[in-house]
């Protein structure tokens, strides 16, 4: 069994993933988007887990907490934004979250990591006032939590780049009851209006607080104001002082300069959220990508990360084989939705309508999507493969590949060019014809032996849909 990106089924939309190892399994807690939804996080919390020994074998744990399980949300008007989970000093598991229409943190609890969680209460001051509602409190958002001994360190915040009322992400210490503030909150880094001339300039905090501890250091991962990147900072203590470290991952691969120019986007990016985890001595960053040409149908991704002896993290590259432990086998059929690169000759850093070059209209750029409605277990595919549209798959261990096939439908009468570099020579082309049925095409195309990327570029009239690619000998 091989592991792909996205690591969950193509019809699952669970972004903001916070991975944790509990009782020999990796559990991922995230928000839950709706396919074709009109905004973020419309569905209830679900959980997926995998054994530490096999990160390709993900199991659906079901719904672990419903929007209406919160007594302040009986009609489900508020959405469940990005959560986190920690194991408390009593051995139980605590789910921290913020409703989309509230400014305080709520907590649910369960005896097992996979739920089902039951509402416990709100994070509060010793006098019972909810944190976020006392005069002078800043609104709470996106809690990330870490428990050590009897204390839990909670990191929260949302800081728009022009909002002077938000000073930066906050760290608050909670007592053994997992609810009561015993210290803080303290601001651990400045927000954008206060970051000019500091180490944070250009990568100021936006949202998505996540906290871990490795090798005696505290690692704070966050989404910067440019949205597509997850950055990190380190500190010797939970309250800081924090030092900016760099970018861990970008969901459009900006800054990566190993296989393309550093400022060239290779996917359509937007907001990002995730966390670090160590599994069997290897470390990974979990994050998400955007599909269906919107911000609101996001899928979980993961990549291995390398830590230097001084604690610095090298930026991870977006791949199709994130949790696989190495390249995929260079043979057989692979679904198109595992493409990690997607672009045309017109560059855009952002998904259509989310900022930057927001001139895109549906049909003008390639996108990963599916048939059916939300919840239908329909396989994903790439739509809108028009002239110059390119999808890239990385990486495969190719040995003796002599033939390449594709599965295509749509009103397109052109060809797919096959390359091993996004700007490399064309190794061969596969003609396609107009059809509304999934149809297999193939051509004799030799792929050089070794670890290779596969890029497919559409040339010609019309718009094709791509279901998969196949390599054979």
pLDDT at 259: 97
199: its two tokens: 């180490």
Domains and CATH numbers, the chain: 18-326 (2.115.10.20), 329-472 (2.60.120.260)
> Which H or E run contains 339?
none
Phi, psi for residue 408 in degrees, rounded to 5: -140, 150
Q: Return the closest-CA partner of residue 289 out of 376, 382, 371.
A: 382
State the burial class of residue 461 (Cβ atoms within 10 Å of its Cβ: 0-12, 13-18, 19+). exposed
In 240-321, DSSP assigns E strands to: 243-250, 276-279, 282-290, 298-304
- State the DSSP string of 95-129: EEE-BTT-SS-EEEEESSTT---EEEEE-B-TTSP
Residues of the chain with pLDDT under 50: 353-361
Query: Three-state DSSP class for 390?
Result: strand
pLDDT tens digit sequence for 314-362? 999 999 999 999 999 999 999 999 999 999 999 999 986 443 343 444 5
The owner of tokens 């509060």 is 124
- What pLDDT is stored for residue 356 in this prediction? 39
* DSSP letter (8 states) at residue 1: -
d(CA 63, CA 352): 31
CB 389 within 8 A of CB 365: yes
Each residue's pLDDT tens digit, 91-105: 999 999 999 999 999
Residue 439 to residues 171, 432, 461, Cα–Cα distance (Å): 55, 9, 18
> Measured between alpha carbons, how far is 84 from 29 in angstroms, rounded to an integer?
6
Nearest alpha carbon to residue 405 among 337, 465, 466, 448? 466
pLDDT of residue 352: 67
Q: Which residues are catalytic?
A: 16, 207
Beta-strand relationship, 390-398 and 328-329 = parallel
pLDDT of residue 358: 39
Q: Specify the pLDDT at position 364.
A: 74
- pLDDT at position 138, please? 96
Secondary structure element (H or E) that encloses residue 170, with its range:
strand 170-174
pLDDT per position as a tens digit, 22-43: 999 999 999 999 999 999 999 9
Per the CB < 8 A criterion, the answer to whether 298 and 291 are in contact is yes
What secondary structure letter does DSSP report for 268? -
Which sign, positive or negative, has the C-alpha torsion 209, 299, 323, 47? positive
């Amino acid at each position: 069994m091989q592991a792909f990106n996205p690591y969950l089924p193509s019809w699952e939309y669970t972004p903001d993933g916070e991975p944790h190892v509990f009782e020999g399994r990796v559990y991922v807690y995230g928000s839950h988007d709706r396919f074709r939804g009109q905004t973020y996080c419309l569905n209830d919390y679900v959980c997926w887990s995998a054994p530490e020994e096999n990160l390709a074998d993900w199991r659906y744990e079901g719904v672990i907490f419903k929007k209406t399980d919160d007594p302040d949300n009986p009609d489900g008007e508020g959405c469940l934004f990005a959560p986190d989970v920690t194991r408390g000093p009593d051995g139980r598991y605590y789910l921290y979250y913020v409703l989309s229409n509230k400014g305080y943190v709520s907590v649910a609890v369960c005896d097992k990591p996979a739920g089902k969680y039951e509402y416990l209460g709100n994070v509060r001051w010793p006098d019972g006032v909810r944190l976020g509602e006392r005069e002078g409190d800043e609104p709470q958002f996106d809690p990330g939590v870490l428990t050590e001994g009897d204390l839990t360190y909670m990191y929260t915040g949302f800081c728009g780049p022009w909002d002077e009322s938000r000073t930066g992400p906050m760290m608050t210490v909670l007592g053994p009851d997992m609810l009561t503030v015993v210290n803080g909150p303290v601001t651990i880094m400045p927000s954008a209006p206060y970051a000019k001339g500091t180490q944070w300039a250009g990568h100021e905090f936006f949202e998505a607080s996540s906290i871990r501890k490795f090798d005696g250091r505290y690692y704070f991962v966050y989404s910067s104001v440019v949205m597509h990147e997850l950055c990190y900072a380190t500190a010797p203590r939970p309250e800081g002082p924090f030092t900016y470290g760099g970018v861990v991952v970008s969901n459009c691969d900006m800054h990566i300069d190993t296989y393309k120019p550093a400022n060239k986007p290779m996917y359509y990016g937007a907001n990002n959220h995730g966390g670090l985890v160590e599994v069997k001595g290897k470390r990974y960053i979990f994050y998400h990508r955007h599909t269906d040409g919107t911000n609101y149908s996001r899928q979980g991704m993961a990549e291995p990360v390398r830590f230097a002896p001084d604690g610095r993290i090298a930026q991870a590259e977006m791949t199709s084989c994130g949790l696989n432990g190495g390249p995929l086998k260079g043979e057989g059929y692979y679904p198109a939705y595992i493409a990690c690169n997607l672009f045309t000759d017109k560059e855009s850093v952002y998904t259509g309508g989310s900022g930057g070059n927001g001139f895109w209209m549906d049909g003008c750029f390639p996108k990963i999507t599916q048939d059916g409605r939300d919840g239908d277990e329909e396989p994903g595919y790439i739509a809108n493969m028009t002239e110059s549209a390119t999808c890239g798959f990385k990486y495969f261990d190719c040995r003796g590949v002599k033939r390449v096939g594709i599965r295509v439908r749509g009103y397109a009468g052109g060809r797919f060019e096959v390359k091993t570099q996004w700007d490399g020579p064309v190794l061969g082309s596969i003609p396609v014809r107009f059809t509304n049925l999934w149809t297999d095409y193939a051509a004799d195309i030799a792929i050089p032996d070794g670890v290779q990327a596969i890029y497919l570029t559409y040339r010609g009239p019309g718009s094709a849909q791509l279901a998969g690619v196949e390599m054979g000998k």
